[in-house]
Amino acid sequence: MFGMAYLICNRNECYPLLGRDKEIKYFMCSMKEFLMSNCSQVLMYEGLPGYGKSQMLMEIEYLAQGEDHRTIAIALTKVSYHQSFYTIQILMANVLGLDTCKHYKERQTNLQNKIKPVLEEKFHCLLNGIFHVQFPISREVSKMNSLRKQKQLEALFMRILEQTVKEERIIFIIDEGQFVDSASWAFLEKLIQTVPIFIIMSLSPFMEPPCPAASAIMKNRNTTYVVLGAVQPKDIRNKVCLDLNVQGIPKELDLFLVEGSCGIPYYCEELLKNLDQHRVLVFQPMESEEKTNVTWHNLFKNFTKPTEELYPFALSDVERGEEVCNLASGVRLKNMSPPASLKEISLVQLDSMSLSHQMLVRCAAIIGLTFTTELLFEILPCWNMKMMINALATLVESNVFNCFRNSKELHLALKQNTASHEVNYRSLSLKPTAGTVHGEEEELRELESQVIECHIIRFCKPMMQKTAYELWLKDQKKTMHLKCARFLEENAHRCDHCRSRDFISYHHFTVDIRLNTLDMYTIQKIIRSRGFQTKEETTFLQAGLPKKTQLLSEDFSSEDIRDMILSFFDNTIAKMKMPQEDIIPLESCQCEEILEMVILPLAYHFLALGENNKALYYFLEITSAYLILGDNYMAYIYLNEGERLLKALKKEKSWSQTFESATFYSLKGQICFNMGQMVLARKMLRKALKLLNRVFPYNLASLFLQIHIEKTRHAYYVNQQVHETTPPGKKRLAQLHLQTTCFSLLWQIYNLNYFFHYKYYGQLAALMQVNTALETQDSFQIIQAYLEYSLYHQLTGHASLWFKYEIMAMEQVYNLPLKGEGIEIVAYVADRLSYNKFFMGHLDLAFDLGSRAHKIWSLLRNPHKHRQALCWLSQTLFLKDRPRQLIQVLGWLWDFSIAEEHIYSKAFFYFICLDIMLYSGFIYRPFEECLEFICQNEDNRILRFQSGILLGLYSCTALWYARLQEWDNFHNFFNRAKLLVPRRTPTALYYKGISRYMECQVLYLQKQIEEKRENAQDSGVELLKNLENLLAQNTIGPVFYPRLYHLMAYACILMGDGENCNIFLNTALQITETQGNVLENCWLNLSREWWYTSAKVNKDQWLQTILNLPSWEKIVSGKINMKEIQKNKFMMRVNILDNPF
């Protein structure tokens, strides 16, 4: 009987306790206190079943072992609670060493030897029933009543324990402590007051109020009571990789298990078993990412890898090898039924609810995992609002639902599971409390108030939602889904801030997807909210027609035009700030919340109803929305949902929607473009244009013919007058807007290519974009096309044309009414011009425009656009070497990233912080903080699939280690960056990242030359060739020229080519002076001084530099002179005389 009381699970040295570091720290602190003092300690862990309490106690038992103390660990069951004094019986049997005895005679002999010094022989028979021995019953004992016998036993056990603790410290470990009987609780209460002992206990929450003794122990000053939280997502990921013994799992599986398990280890195990039983998991050898041939289907085939803390515990390669886990083809994890074990837990919880609460949960399950109170109220049968709020408050209290005020709160909660926390029952007991019933009523009223404030509700556990959903009959489900769809479709468009448009321009005019009948109220609502021409729109269409270029016709100098443009933006900002103008919106953009709470659920409701054409429409809208939000991975996931529907619909003869197919290929092209897969992107965009009857030429003859035609069209559009044409219809506008998007991406793709004839394809695409935009007669499309056409001409070196189209864009802006969309267009122009000027190296103008764009976006309360403006404004100030203004902008960027929980903004912030340390000569945020951010967030789906940002962060980190000559760390981050280099996108962020990457290569060449490697000469030649090719590209901005020429100069001098080194150095210096690039100019002059004088750089120069790098706080306080920090530059060391070449 004693053997069965041990802890059930066994500790495995190869299987670490994951995600419980905080909980172990509680043990360590209590253990230290226990060993240093001479008083008892109690450590109690409360957690729901499945939280891993038993495994944690096994780990604690292992850690508690020592020479001067003894651990006794037991596990209780439900039966234990009904046996009086059972817990103490088991513990004392272990203390006395009876648990290992095979026979009662052996047990009796051992017991007699142990208790002889502390108990007279005539009382030995007291232990017969406790330890199943057969001592002769004495007359004295036979006359005792039960109470007296119990007191004698307790006194005996107390004496034994007092004697034992003199020889060694005792640690009691009790699993399933909620099954401790009341007599044992009473003894334990006396014990901790009498004998110095350490009790560690895990327990599930008490179903009823605990007995007085248990309550007293919980309130004891030496008790630490910890409520266990869920395991964090990274630890769930580690657990899965360890359980499957693989090097990585697909992102989709990672998200499914993190969401489905809610951080509960048992749930995770059951979900994995269920997937394995259904043969969903496929194990494959891990392929090198460099060798993988990229297709649409493996575009995001990225395996989430365990964190470094797991590496020491990975099983040997012999057992499984370098494998990854993948999903079987065609599997949709969302559609899988939950495991029977987890379904049973949910059903038990459902059965414990009242019938009305069950109905509410089942109705909520139809809506989905997350829902709004408005929609729930709409589908609840015969409920009033008060009933629903009361029921929701009760279910929130029962941990069936969580409630949130807005989507930001929801996102924050989903990122991190609820952590373990300490509860001080002693402090709580000292607080004045009203009667229990009154207190519960007050708490419920508070919860009701909270539910009223919060309009977003989410199931605490996805298993509950899936289980409750499966309880509906098929016809009932259809009826409920139809109710939901009718309610949601009224708001299935962008927010009021964005004038309730579609995410795909004029999309709803091309497809009939409405369920609701068009009564007069609905028609009026559509007129107001969804894009029929109002007076303001008509003004925009008229403004959209080309006007004579007043700025070009006058003899204005470029300085005059610059001042006029900046003055225009200043006047706009001043007008926006005037309260009587009523220009500033009342709330910020809510599109993300509408996407998640309205459009996403609506797509799945239509899917459940079998309305595939309507579901496809919304999946395309969802994809477009995620692209706008910068989430390429989620856009890919939902476009694949759309692709399944598109294939099914193409088989139906009655369905024919060319525009939907064209939109699908256009979105595919955009995703491929964002991922740097230009061959795929070009293929998809050409398909989209073909479906839109705009075939793009495939051969040179048709190419030059098309260029001639488009030039003629362009001249016609530019010269036409307002009265000559009527605006195109809405369906035609939808096609034209989609075409401009395709052409915009195509010219950038063709400009990336080195083949000579591709520049003509690029020229045609850029011209077709402008002509298509002019055909729309839409101001925003025309201005956008003009600015892109201007950038195209700047990159290809046509100075006269780029200036002309910039001025034409500005004149279009001058004609706009400064309200609604007009103000947004002004903000866009300031922002886009700022980016263009930065990219082209006009840093002073980039700053002037960027600071104004920041102000306008801030007033317009558009967080997405405001973030972009701050990012490039900070980069401009960095190159201008204006640290005070730079730190101010970085402060705004940091505040924005925290307020909006925006990971991209935070990543860009740390990118600039690394740049400041590497190039500016001071510390704003320490390197360790930047490194921690990278390691914690490198698997974030936004950053992982965003071209440029991780490339820059990895390269900067590798550069830091290269300067310190820590080559192992260098290779770690350099190899990560190398995998991202092929994702070429014509963006400033990518080129910024690639310039840092090339600098890493240059420093590695220096190492090869110093070590006199055989292939150093070949590496140097290849590196110079790569740098030259980079400079020769039409898409790289001149702002990056100085850094690349600087690196070429250094590579040349390392290889003994002083003549070319001097040419490149002078070229770089001239460009920096023209651009106003103060930072690079200073570094170039220092390099010239070091390279062409006899000065020598210490090998550990960078280590000495970083040890003396001042913090920004010291600079602000005036302790450090700004001129001093200019000397904190990394010196590229070289000695031409010793050069082996």
pLDDT in tens, 709-755: 999 999 888 887 544 678 888 999 999 999 999 999 999 999 888 67
- When pLDDT is cut at 50, 70 and 90, the band that residue 939 belongs to is confident
Q: CB neighbours (10 Å) of residue 391?
A: 23
Q: CB neighbours (10 Å) of residue 921?
A: 25
253, pLDDT greater than 70: yes
Q: Measuring CA to CA, which residue among 202, 225, 268 is closest to residue 53?
A: 202
Query: What are the DSSP calls for 849-906, one per residue?
Result: HHHHHHHHHHHHT-HHHHHHHHHHHHHHHHHHT-HHHHHHHHHHHHHHHHHTT-HHHH
340, pLDDT greater than 90: yes
| Amino acid 430: pLDDT | 65
828, pLDDT greater than 60: yes
Query: What are the DSSP calls for 497-557, one per residue?
Result: GGTT--SSTTGGGTS----S---HHHHHHHHHHS----HHHHHHHHHHS----HHHHTT--
pLDDT in tens, 748-798: 999 888 677 888 999 999 999 999 999 999 999 999 999 999 999 998 888
pLDDT in tens, 1021-1078: 999 999 998 888 878 889 999 999 999 999 998 888 888 999 999 999 999 999 999 9
pTM of the model as a whole: 0.88
CA distances from 356 to 278, 397, 469, 903, 1060 (A): 35, 16, 16, 41, 83
279, pLDDT greater than 80: yes
pLDDT in tens, 466-503: 999 999 999 999 999 999 999 999 899 998 888 889 99
CB 82 within 8 A of CB 181: yes
Tokens read off for 883: 């640290």
The DSSP secondary-structure symbol of 297 reads T
- When pLDDT is cut at 50, 70 and 90, the band that residue 570 belongs to is very high
Report the C-alpha gap between 319 and 737 in whole angstroms.
56
What angle, 0 to 180 degrees and rounded to 10, lies between the N-to-C axes of helices 949-964 and 927-937? 140
The radius of gyration computed from the CA coordinates of the chain, to the nearest angstrom, equals 36
| Amino acid 438: pLDDT | 59
| Amino acid 735: pLDDT | 94
The mean per-residue pLDDT over the stretch 165-188 comes to 92
Give the bridge partners for 423, in sequence order: 225
Half-sphere exposure of residue 115: CA atoms within 13 angstroms, side-chain side: 28
Q: Is 124 exposed, middle or buried (0-12, 13-18, 19+ CB in 10 A)?
A: buried
| Amino acid 521: pLDDT | 44
Report the C-alpha gap between 784 and 781 in whole angstroms.
5
Report the C-alpha gap between 1106 and 1091 in whole angstroms.
22
Please state which of the ranges 130-134, 864-868, 993-997, 1011-1015 shows the lowest mean pLDDT.
130-134
- Strand 198-203 to 169-175 pairing: parallel
The mean per-residue pLDDT over the stretch 1090-1109 comes to 74
CB 11 within 8 A of CB 58: yes
| Amino acid 432: pLDDT | 58
Please tell me whether residue 43 adopts helix, strand or coil conformation: strand
Q: Measuring CA to CA, which residue among 568, 506, 511 is closest to residue 537?
A: 506
pLDDT in tens, 287-337: 776 666 788 888 887 777 777 666 655 544 444 457 888 888 888 888 889
| Amino acid 1141: pLDDT | 37
| Amino acid 655: pLDDT | 65
Tokens read off for 391: 């029921």
- Strand 198-203 to 41-46 pairing: parallel
The mean per-residue pLDDT over the stretch 209-236 comes to 92
Report the C-alpha gap between 1129 and 1048 in whole angstroms.
18
Q: Measuring CA to CA, which residue among 279, 272, 196 is closest to residue 237?
A: 272
Q: Is 969 exposed, middle or buried (0-12, 13-18, 19+ CB in 10 A)?
A: middle
Higher pLDDT, 461 or 652: 461
| Amino acid 654: pLDDT | 62
pLDDT in tens, 681-701: 999 999 999 999 998 998 889
Query: What are the DSSP calls for 739-769, one per residue?
Result: HHHHHHHHHHHHHH---TTHHHHHHHHHHHH
1, pLDDT greater than 70: no
Report the C-alpha gap between 956 and 908 in whole angstroms.
12
Q: Measuring CA to CA, which residue among 915, 805, 824 is closest to residue 584?
A: 824
Q: Which of 228-237, 354-363, 559-568, 1116-1125 has the highest mean pLDDT?
A: 354-363
201, pLDDT greater than 60: yes
1119, pLDDT greater than 90: no
Displacement of CA 80 from its chain's centroid (Å): 46
* Residue keyed to tokens 């008083």: 39
Q: What is the mean pLDDT of the chain?
A: 86
Report the C-alpha gap between 227 and 214 in whole angstroms.
16
Residues 6+ apart with CB under 8 A from 711: 767
* Residue keyed to tokens 């060391």: 1133
Q: Which of 157-171, 240-254, 261-275 has the highest mean pLDDT?
A: 261-275
CA distances from 521 to 249, 502, 507, 616 (A): 51, 20, 22, 27
The mean per-residue pLDDT over the stretch 376-400 comes to 91
Q: Measuring CA to CA, which residue among 909, 999, 907, 1009 is closest to residue 960?
A: 999
The mean per-residue pLDDT over the stretch 253-257 comes to 91
The vertex-303 CA angle with 302 and 305, nearest 5°, equals 140
The DSSP secondary-structure symbol of 66 reads B
CB 325 within 8 A of CB 249: yes
* Residue keyed to tokens 């992107």: 681
Give the bridge partners for 551, in sequence order: none
Length of the chain: 1141
Report the C-alpha gap between 872 and 976 in whole angstroms.
25
pLDDT in tens, 144-162: 887 888 888 888 888 888 8
- When pLDDT is cut at 50, 70 and 90, the band that residue 519 belongs to is very low
Please state which of the ranges 21-30, 252-261, 646-655, 1068-1077 shows the lowest mean pLDDT.
646-655
| Amino acid 523: pLDDT | 46
343 residue type, one letter: K
Question: Is the CA virtual torsion 1054, 1057, 1058, 1061 positive or negative?
Answer: negative
Report the C-alpha gap between 664 and 685 in whole angstroms.
10
Q: Measuring CA to CA, which residue among 289, 343, 32 is closest to residue 944?
A: 289
Per DSSP, helices labelled H in 695-729 are 700-719
Report the C-alpha gap between 1127 and 1109 in whole angstroms.
10
